[in-house]
Structure 1
Amino acid sequence: MTDYLSTGNLPDDYAELAKTVRDFAQNVVAPVAAKHDEEHSFPYEVVAGMANMGLFGLPFPEEYGGMGGDYFALCLALEELGKVDQSVAITLEAGVSLGAMPVYRFGTEEQKQAWLPQLTSGQALGAFGLTEAGGGSDAGATKTTARLDDGHWVINGSKQFITNSGTDITKLVTVTAVTGGTPDKPEISAILVPVPTDGFIAEPAYNKVGWNASDTHPLSFDDVRVPEENLLGERGRGYANFLRILDEGRIAIAALSVGAAQGCVDESVKYAKERSAFGRPIGKYQAIEFKLARMEARAQAARTAYYDAAALMLAGKPFKKEAAVAKMVASEAAMDNARDATQIHGGYGFMNEYAVARHYRDSKILEIGEGTTEVQLMIIAREMGV
């Protein structure tokens, strides 16, 4: 993959996928993005379209209903969707890398057969229940508990900011919970919770600054009972396994962020050619030219970073540092480009019907979700041996 760190040099299969998703994003997603954002409504019709295209199954083997592709293919799809609607892009990202991937990576064969065909088809969504009110960046400070009772796990606790957890097609939430150990060294395991299950509640959705068409809820667990065999992976390895999932997910978030950054470039170039001031298009003024050039440079640099991280991951090489670099660089590029794009658009950039206004509201969470910028800096420093 390092031989084609430019979108112009993608192999035919990747290039065709990117074009197909780009056409879908422009013709299906973009026309309804403002409506769903304004109404805070989940885009079921768009999700159904992505399911029909096989996007939820991109990185999974055909034996589990997948498309037989790889994680880089997923990233290309996320980049194209992120250009026009981050809510739709994060729905796909969370459904694949956070919903289905833990089952694929750590599940038993029985669990894979039971869950992956539903999740890879996009007919059902899975969610990733990690974050809690007192444990965001400190995910190891889990307070949710699970104890064994007569062959069942009994789960009590709560989770916060969980994507895809309360839709009509949500069928699974994977939860991290303390299953033993000591207060100083808790044993954290991952457990599959089917939806619906008695005692599990997706509380009312959040009123968010952005990602308004993305489904996000706090969750509560009140004596939720699931079979003992719903343990995902080894007992006590839940936290460590989910850290691996987050490493992969950071590449995906980087790809989404690159899409957002590039979307801001594309909208701004178009606007700079159309909008005139003092007798000529504003793109002819050096102040705007330089701003656009910096925006393009950020997007290209961030794209190279996530391509590099994905190449290492697919080659089976260590990629933790590169994933953190990509996530940090790309999320900052998205936020910086959204700010510049809004400035270029002037008053129109402050109007929600304009895509750059949505990017301005949406992009901030990219610097927070799946590891804040500060967490990425810690990871990078540690991987450097500091």
Structure 2
Amino acid sequence: MSTATFLKEEHAIFRKSVRSFLEKEVKPHYEKWEKDGLIPRDLWGKLGQQGLLCPWLPEEFGGGEADFGYSFVLIEELERVGSSLVGVPLHNDVVVPYLWHYGSTEQKKRWLPSCTSGKSVSAIGMTEPGTGSDLAAIKTTAILDGDSYVVNGSKTFISNGLHGDLFVVVCKTDPKAQPAHKGISLLVIDADTPGFTKGKKLDKVGLRSQDTIELSFEDVRVPKANLLGEAGRGFYYLMEQLQQERLIVAIAAIVSAERTLELTLDYVKERKAFGKPIGSFQHNQFTLVELATKIEIGRTFLDSLVERHMNQEDVVKEVSMAKYWLTDLAKEVVSSCVQLHGGYGYMEEYEVARRSRDIPVSAIYAGTNEIMKSIIAKKMGL
């Protein structure tokens, strides 16, 4: 858990409130949700009642005008319970900011209050079956016809997709644009729009209760009034907001690493082999010391970036470093800790087993770690 200087007394009070809510409403049920493969929809309403949805929004839209420190605390506490709760930060700090930054006054009044109450769950449709990191190559089109855009195409790996009500969909409004990224726009599409179909929940290796699905659009008519910002500016909007998305992934990664190490330290002090605790063997001690050191270094770097982000600095290069390095570190930590648990690390009753399934995808989503390295290389002038 962070002890960063940007966290004040009000953040500590908020943390206690969040933890109390999670202890009551989430932790007792989380393992069942994992087995069932779905977090219940009514959790969103409870989160809204507690003021845990988009607390950074102005009061007129149901928020509390809170700083990013509140989002930071909430992300930490959610991740400590389980990675399948990632849909909440996705809604709060990835999708809704698009509506806030690029929406018109009318659009904000129409959409934001339901996002803070939990009546509307938001999702973003970027990835397509044949297109992952190469956003400029998307094939979903939105062709203007009178006062409507006609949308055709499909999206995949859409988090919050099953429960989703509002979808920010990345489309080509000008398929002939050169370069291709200048033809990309963002449309907000309601889940009940005719021709918009949700596929079945995808069967993932990890994040089992987090709802991830495919979407398809067949001659979906979307009012022109649902265009977010300007036509042809979508790619630039995405680039502007990815710093925060990747920072969120880095925050969750360090918390997962810390939690996994904490579980393992408890285990190696209790588990005995050859007549003494396995934590007393020098090899195991050195492994744990090395992991703890890397986690401390990662935490310090991350906390400094969050503070700079809160100061509205451009830290795209450093956030890209944090996203790739901390997610790789979390994978290293969970791999070593499963090994230290021995056969028990492979048993469902041990949290470390779940962590081992959940953490690898963090090196893939929000831009693969290879893409992070490409961004860093460009920022270095290479």
TM range (shorter): over 0.9
Residue 228 of structure 2 aligns to which amino acid in structure 1? L
Which of 128, 144, 149 is the equivalent residue of 1:148? 144
Measured after TM superposition, the shift of residue 238 of structure 1 is: 0.7
Q: Is the 8 A contact 1:325 1:376 kept in 2?
A: yes
Which of 37, 40, 56 is the equivalent residue of 1:40? 37
Q: 1:299 to 1:46 in 2, by over 3 A?
A: farther
Measured after TM superposition, the shift of residue 45 of structure 1 is: 5.2
Secondary structure of 2:53's aligned partner: helix
- Normalised TM-score (structure 2): 0.94
Which of 59, 83, 88 is the equivalent residue of 1:86? 83
Measured after TM superposition, the shift of residue 32 of structure 1 is: 2.4
Kindly indicate whether residue 4 of structure 2 is the aligned counterpart of residue 10 of structure 1.
no
Measured after TM superposition, the shift of residue 165 of structure 1 is: 1.3
Mapping for residues 110-259 of structure 1, pairs under 5 Å = 110-167=106-163, 170-180=164-174, 182=176, 184-186=178-180, 187-259=183-255
1:52-86 deviation per Cα after TM superposition (whole angstroms, max 9, x unaligned): 32221222222221122122321221122212200
Give the unaligned 5+ runs of structure 1.
none
Residue 154 of structure 2 aligns to which amino acid in structure 1? S
Measured after TM superposition, the shift of residue 156 of structure 1 is: 0.4
Q: Is the 8 A contact 1:34 1:353 kept in 2?
A: no
Q: Is the 8 A contact 1:97 1:245 kept in 2?
A: no
Measured after TM superposition, the shift of residue 189 of structure 1 is: 0.4
Q: Distance in 1 between matches of 2:175 and 2:36?
A: 45
Q: Distance in 2 between matches of 1:84 and 1:294?
A: 25
Q: Is the 8 A contact 1:91 1:164 kept in 2?
A: yes
Task: Name the counterpart of 2:270.
Answer: 274
Secondary structure of 2:188's aligned partner: strand
Q: Is the 8 A contact 1:203 1:218 kept in 2?
A: yes
Measured after TM superposition, the shift of residue 174 of structure 1 is: 0.7
Give the unaligned 5+ runs of structure 2.
none
Measured after TM superposition, the shift of residue 185 of structure 1 is: 2.1
22-31 vs 152-161, greater mean Cα deviation: 22-31
Q: 1:50 to 1:338 in 2, by over 3 A?
A: farther
Q: Is the 8 A contact 1:57 1:122 kept in 2?
A: no
Task: Name the counterpart of 1:68.
Answer: 65
Measured after TM superposition, the shift of residue 326 of structure 1 is: 1.6
Q: Distance in 2 between matches of 1:121 and 1:237?
A: 29
1:142-174 deviation per Cα after TM superposition (whole angstroms, max 9, x unaligned): 11000111201110000110110111xx21001
Q: Distance in 2 between matches of 1:233 and 1:312?
A: 27
Percent identical among aligned pairs is: 35
Q: Is the 8 A contact 1:84 1:260 kept in 2?
A: no
Secondary structure of 2:335's aligned partner: helix
Q: Distance in 2 between matches of 1:10 and 1:300?
A: 18
Which of 287, 311, 314 is the equivalent residue of 1:315? 311
Residue 234 of structure 1 aligns to which amino acid in structure 2? E
Which of 41, 47, 50 is the equivalent residue of 2:47? 50
Count of aligned residue pairs for this structure pair: 379
- Normalised TM-score (structure 1): 0.93
Secondary structure of 1:204's aligned partner: strand
